[in-house]
């Protein structure tokens, strides 16, 4: 049911070409919309709650281990916890069962639904979902997401959690079928002391699981995976990264584990770009550049994808 492909495709919401086949990416014109943009009404059909009592919603998947033979499947049930169970198989008989875990949280007076995370491992590397219509329409087999998910922090009080739910349903048409590799951005911090919310990344960490332990990371905010011909490293721009910190020590060790014979591509994801000529967020990445740039050069990192600045260069 839930196979993972080890053929990597670089896609940051824009489809690029297959690395292994050497297809070139497509360049298109981009015109930034007027600011501020207008919110989609919460009663729009794209945010619709699925019919049926306790129906799963906000389904999303990501790679579940270091080498791409497992998948983390997450979903939310609103009425009751129910079983955290996934049935899967190589045919529609679904002869295997995996048990997961369930969590929830409060944010101000908002109480989340029951958030399930289930690890399915021992999978084949070919993606059995490739026959679905949207796979036929798009060659993308994974999304490398460089942070700022729902922008729920632009809202106040209980609307923060409500926006997380609506965004989860909105992107489900992709996240339920294409593995999204998550990176945390500044809009996931949600430090709101006037509401009594002072734990950074509270909503994000409850909702979006990552396979950090598989790469010996001590935090879900930084981790690594190997996917097809790529070794992908995810860094946290908003966690300590100077000398002797956990992220610093982990990255040093992880770079030693890169095997170019197995994964000739080395890709880094981070939210804040190390270089930026735009006046927005100018020089914000200078500190992380000072710490890690020499490592990237020494390790011959092939690609670094970043977000934060709402302009391309």
Instruction: Determine what percent of the chain is predicted with pLDDT higher than 90.
Output: 67
Please tell me the pTM assigned to this model: 0.82
Q: Is 161 exposed, middle or buried (0-12, 13-18, 19+ CB in 10 A)?
A: buried
Q: Is 163 exposed, middle or buried (0-12, 13-18, 19+ CB in 10 A)?
A: buried
139: confidence class by pLDDT, cuts 50, 70, 90: low
In the predicted structure, residue 59 carries a pLDDT above the cut 80: yes
In the residue annotation, 134 being an active-site residue is answered as: no
Tell me if 233 sits within 8 A of 254, measured CB to CB: yes
- 147: closest CA among 12, 303, 296? 12
- 4: closest CA among 100, 145, 127, 158? 127
- 230: closest CA among 176, 292, 305? 305
Query: Could you identify the residue written with the tokens 């996240």?
Result: 175
In the predicted structure, residue 21 carries a pLDDT above the cut 60: no
Query: What value, to the nearest 5°, has the Cα angle with vertex 50 and ends 44 and 52?
Result: 140
Write the DSSP symbol of residue 168.
H
Query: Could you identify the residue written with the tokens 């002869």?
Result: 95
- The domains of the chain, with CATH numbers, are 9-19+43-305 (3.60.21.10)
Instruction: Determine what percent of the chain is predicted with pLDDT higher than 70.
Output: 83
Could you tell me whether strands 303-305 and 265-269 are parallel, antiparallel, or unpaired per DSSP bridges? parallel
pLDDT score for 156: 93
Could you tell me whether strands 114-120 and 71-77 are parallel, antiparallel, or unpaired per DSSP bridges? antiparallel
pLDDT score for 29: 64
For residues 98 and 278, the model is more confident at 98
Q: From the candidates 60, 134, 281, 308, which is the catalytic residue?
A: 281
DSSP string, 143-160: EE--S--S-GGGS-THHH
Q: For residue range 147-197, what is the model confidence (pLDDT) as tens digits?
A: 999 999 999 999 999 999 999 999 999 999 899 999 999 999 999 999 999
Query: Considering the chain, what is the average pLDDT of its residues?
Result: 85
For residues 14 and 311, the model is more confident at 311
Could you tell me whether strands 143-144 and 180-181 are parallel, antiparallel, or unpaired per DSSP bridges? parallel
Write the DSSP symbol of residue 32.
P
Distance CA 204, CA 131 (A): 31
Question: Positive or negative, the Cα torsion across 220, 225, 231, 232?
Answer: negative
Max avg pLDDT among 24-33, 48-57, 88-97, 300-309: 300-309
Query: Could you identify the residue written with the tokens 């020494």?
Result: 298
């Amino acid at each position: 049911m839930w196979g993972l492909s080890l053929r990597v495709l670089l896609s940051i919401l824009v489809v690029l070409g297959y690395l292994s086949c050497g297809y070139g990416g497509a360049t298109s014109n981009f015109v930034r919309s007027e600011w501020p943009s207008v919110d989609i009404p919460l009663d729009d059909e794209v945010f619709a709650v699925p019919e049926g009592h306790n129906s799963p919603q906000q389904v999303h998947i990501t790679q579940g281990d270091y080498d791409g033979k497992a998948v983390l499947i997450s979903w939310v049930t609103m009425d009751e916890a129910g079983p955290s169970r996934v049935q899967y198989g190589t045919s529609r008989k679904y002869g295997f069962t995996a048990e997961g875990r369930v969590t929830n949280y409060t944010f101000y007076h908002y109480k989340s639904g029951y958030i399930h995370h289930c690890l399915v491992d021992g999978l084949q590397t070919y993606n059995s979902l490739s026959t679905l219509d949207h796979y036929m329409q798009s060659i993308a087999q994974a999304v490398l997401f460089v942070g700022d998910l729902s922008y729920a922090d632009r809202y106040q009080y209980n609307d923060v959690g409500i926006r997380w739910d609506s965004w989860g349903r909105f992107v489900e048409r992709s996240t339920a079928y294409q593995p999204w590799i998550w990176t945390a951005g500044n809009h996931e911090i949600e430090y709101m002391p006037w509401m009594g919310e002072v734990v950074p990344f509270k909503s994000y960490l409850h909702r979006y699981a990552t396979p950090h332990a598989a790469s010996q990371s001590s935090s879900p905010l930084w981790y690594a995976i190997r996917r097809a011909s790529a070794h992908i490293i995810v860094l946290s721009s908003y966690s300590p990264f100077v000398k002797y910190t956990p992220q610093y020590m982990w990255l040093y060790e992880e770079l030693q584990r890169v095997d170019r014979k197995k994964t000739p591509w080395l890709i880094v994801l981070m939210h804040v770009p190390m270089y930026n000529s735009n006046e927005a967020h100018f020089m914000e990445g200078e500190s992380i550049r000072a710490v890690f740039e020499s490592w990237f050069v020494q390790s011959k990192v092939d690609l670094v994808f970043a977000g934060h600045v709402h302009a391309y260069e």
